[in-house]
Amino acid sequence: MQFVSTRHQSPAVSLSEALTQGLAPDGGLYLPAEWPAASLAWNEPMSVPQAAERLLQPFFAGDQLESALGDICREALDLPAPVVPSRDPHVFLLELFHGPTAAFKDFAARFLAACFARLLRPNAPTLTILVATSGDTGGAVAAAFHRRPGFRVVVLYPDGKVSPRQAHQLAAFGDNVHTFKVAGTFDDCQAMVKQAFADTDLRQQVPLSSANSISLGRLLPQMSYYAAAALRWEQIYQSLANFVIPTGNLGNALACVLARKLGLPIGDILLATNANRVLPEFLDSGDYQPRPSVQTLANAMDVGAPSNLERLRALFPQHSDLTQQVSAASVNDGELRQIMATAESRYGHIVCPHTAAALALIQRRQQAGDQRSYIAVATAHPAKFDSVVEPCIGHPVAVPAALDELLRRPAQAEPLAAEYAELRQRLVQLG
Structure confidence at residue 36 (pLDDT): 86
Interval 380-399: pLDDT, tens: 999 999 999 999 999 999 99
Separation in Å, CA 239 to CA 168, 225, 233, 234, 362: 42, 17, 7, 5, 18
Which residue stretches of 238-329 are H helix?
251-261, 278-285, 309-315, 319-325
Distance CA 124, CA 121 (A): 5
3-state secondary structure of 5: strand
End-to-end CA distance of the chain: 33
Burial class of 419 by CB neighbour count within 10 A (0 to 12, 13 to 18, 19+): middle
Structure confidence at residue 39 (pLDDT): 55
256 with 374: CB under 8 angstroms?
no
User: Above 80 in pLDDT, residue 38?
Assistant: no
**Residue-wise over 310-329: b if at least 16 C-beta within 10 A, else e?**
bbbebbbeeeeebeebbebb
Question: How many C-beta atoms surround the C-beta of residue 115 within 10 A?
Answer: 25
Residue type for position 374:
Y
Distance CA 195, CA 7 (A): 17
Structure confidence at residue 325 (pLDDT): 95
Interval 77-104: pLDDT, tens: 999 999 999 999 999 999 999 999 999 9
Structure confidence at residue 198 (pLDDT): 87
Beta partners for 13?
A: 3
370 with 361: CB under 8 angstroms?
no
User: Above 80 in pLDDT, residue 212?
Assistant: no
Structure confidence at residue 22 (pLDDT): 84
Question: How many C-beta atoms surround the C-beta of residue 55 within 10 A?
Answer: 25
Distance CA 337, CA 58 (A): 43
3-state secondary structure of 158: strand
Distance CA 198, CA 19 (A): 16
Interval 218-271: pLDDT, tens: 899 999 999 999 999 999 999 999 999 999 989 999 999 999 999 999 999 999
Structure confidence at residue 40 (pLDDT): 59
- Percent of the chain residues topping a pLDDT of 70: 99
Separation in Å, CA 73 to CA 18, 69, 136: 18, 6, 21
Instruction: Write down the mean pLDDT value for the chain.
Output: 94
Separation in Å, CA 93 to CA 132, 140, 194, 379: 28, 21, 34, 10
Residues 6+ apart with CB under 8 A from 201: none
Residues 6+ apart with CB under 8 A from 287: 281
Structure confidence at residue 180 (pLDDT): 97
182 with 157: CB under 8 angstroms?
yes
Interval 360-379: pLDDT, tens: 999 999 999 999 999 999 99
Which residue stretches of 79-149 are H helix?
105-119, 137-145
Phi, psi of 171 (to 5 degrees): -105, 15
Interval 162-173: pLDDT, tens: 889 989 999 999
Counting Cα atoms < 13 Å in the Cβ hemisphere of 327 gives: 12
Domains of the chain listed by start with CATH number: 80-102+219-398 (3.40.50.1100)
Interval 316-347: pLDDT, tens: 999 999 999 999 999 999 999 999 999 999 99
φ/ψ bin of 163: left (φ > 0), alpha (ψ from -120 to 50), beta (otherwise): beta
Question: How many C-beta atoms surround the C-beta of residue 131 within 10 A?
Answer: 29
Structure confidence at residue 126 (pLDDT): 94
Interval 178-191: pLDDT, tens: 999 999 998 899 89
Angle at 353 between CA 351 and CA 357, to 5 degrees: 95
Residue type for position 287:
D
**Residue-wise over 181-216: b if at least 16 C-beta within 10 A, else e?**
bbebbbbbbbbbbbebbebeebbeebebbbbbbbbb
DSSP 8-state class, residue 382: G
Beta partners for 95?
A: 378
Interval 140-154: pLDDT, tens: 999 999 999 999 999
DSSP 8-state class, residue 172: S
Structure confidence at residue 342 (pLDDT): 98
